Structure 1
Amino acid sequence: MVLLMVKPDPAKKLPVLGEEGHRTGKFALLTQDSVVYNSDSLAGSIRVVEFFFTTCKGICPKMNGNMKKLYLQFRSAPQVKFVSFTVDPLHDTPSVLKKYALQQGADGYQWIFLTGQKDSLYRIAREQYLLSAAPADDVVNTEEFIHTQYFALVDAQNQIRGFYDGTSEKEMIRLMADIKILLA
């Protein structure tokens, strides 16, 4: 994927998604470094958000491969953050996320991996980022869960500006161009 050459359309205006006035809200979770990380840490940043789990054999490896490519492209833009919330906090403890983050080459500052209580993580996905994450068959105590392959792009004012299929190279090119629009 050659993302560096992507040029944003200067005339393109990104939509604001969600109901009128919708903004992402407050949270406090643990990072891969076992540090409490709250939504205030993202204040003023543009961010790409995903929900995944480390033992996933399906879409997650492709999603995180694409997230890594985006992360590497925006290493010189510290105001762009990449936030990966687990949907499997029983397994994805901070130490497990730390090992996974190291495998991805994530720095813990610009690309953050977060865990917490399952119900809080699912609520954050649905209510704040308008993404799907839920226990399979909607049974809270199950070990199985579902999540979307979509990334959410959030601007510095905590407004959702787009959704992108995290498994699609074409969508990653569109996402990169849209990040550049927000940076401009």
Structure 2
Amino acid sequence: MKSLRILQGLVLVCILLVPVVIFLFLRTFGNNQYDIPVLFQNGVEDPLNDCNMVESGQHYIPDFTLTDQDGVLRGKSEMAGKITIVDFFFTSCPSICPIMSTELERVDDAFRDDEEIQIYSISIDPEFDTPEVLSEYAKLHMATPGKWFFLTGDKSLIYNLARCGFILPTIDGKGQPEEFVHSDKFALIDGEGRIRGYYSGTNREDVDKLILETKILLHGTK
């Protein structure tokens, strides 16, 4: 009888301790945040002066205007206040571009109903990738209208934008698909025009991370 009372007492103590344990757990871990870095807070190094860049503080995406698959002008001003995922590609790419565009289909689908998220796919072969060509490519990849934009325009502007704005290596192939060089990275840009991360567009796990971190930015955890 005595042992039963002791057992009942221990059970009661355990029950009373549960709220205390939960409180301590939440106090210890409940305020943890998933921090997404702001890249290039001290500017971008430009040792060869290729970009004619003089920055003493935070690097921002520069102003630019290109033409989308519907013939509409679109650029930096349309990025303000939105989260933009950016890649550089070309429609005749024989290697990584099809994989990257297929992965962006997943990103597009994940944020189909979020008006604050958009995608810019910028062609590095603008002489071939006219708005008409990009329109067909958009249909091929089931791009959500008004969300996933395929952009073309002045070649020198695009290459300068890739290298000096988004800090991604890009080499002109002079019309030869096998000779073009560009990064497989997707760049995550916040509503202020700051680069928040790079993710391999040919790696499914990296794209999953991009989707996660985009959701975190969307819900205001910075």
Query: By the TM > 0.5 criterion, same fold?
Result: yes
Q: Residue 85 of structure 1 aligns to a residue in which SS?
A: strand
Residue 106 (1) aligns with residue 106 (2): no
One-letter code aligned to 1:147: H
Structure 1: runs of 5+ lacking an equivalent: 1-9, 137-141
The answer to whether residue 121 in structure 2 is matched with residue 121 in structure 1 is no
Corresponding residue number in structure 2 for 1:4: none
Asked if 1:77 corresponds to 2:123, the answer is no
In structure 2, what is the Cα distance between the partners aligned to 1:112 and 1:131?
19
Residue 92 of structure 1 aligns to a residue whose secondary structure is coil
Moved more, 66-75 or 19-28: 19-28
Q: What is the number of equivalent residue pairs in this alignment?
A: 170
AA of the residue aligned to 1:124: L
Bigger CA drift: 32-41 or 22-31? 32-41
TM-score computed with the length of structure 1 as normaliser: 0.89
User: Which residue matches 1:53?
Assistant: 90
Higher-Rg structure is 2
SS at match of 2:81: coil
Structure number having the greater helix percentage? 2
36-45 vs 24-33, greater mean Cα deviation: 36-45
Within a 5 Å distance, the mapping from 1:1-184 to structure 2 comes to 11-18=33-40, 19=43, 20-136=57-173, 142-143=174-175, 144-184=179-219
The answer to whether the 8 Å contact 1:32/1:108 transfers is no
- Residue 53 of structure 1 and its aligned partner are, at CA, apart by 0.5
Q: CA deviation at 1:37?
A: 1.4
Select the structure that is richer in strand: 1
Give the TM-score taking structure 2 as reference length.
0.74
Percent pairwise identity: 37
Moved over 4 A (4+): none
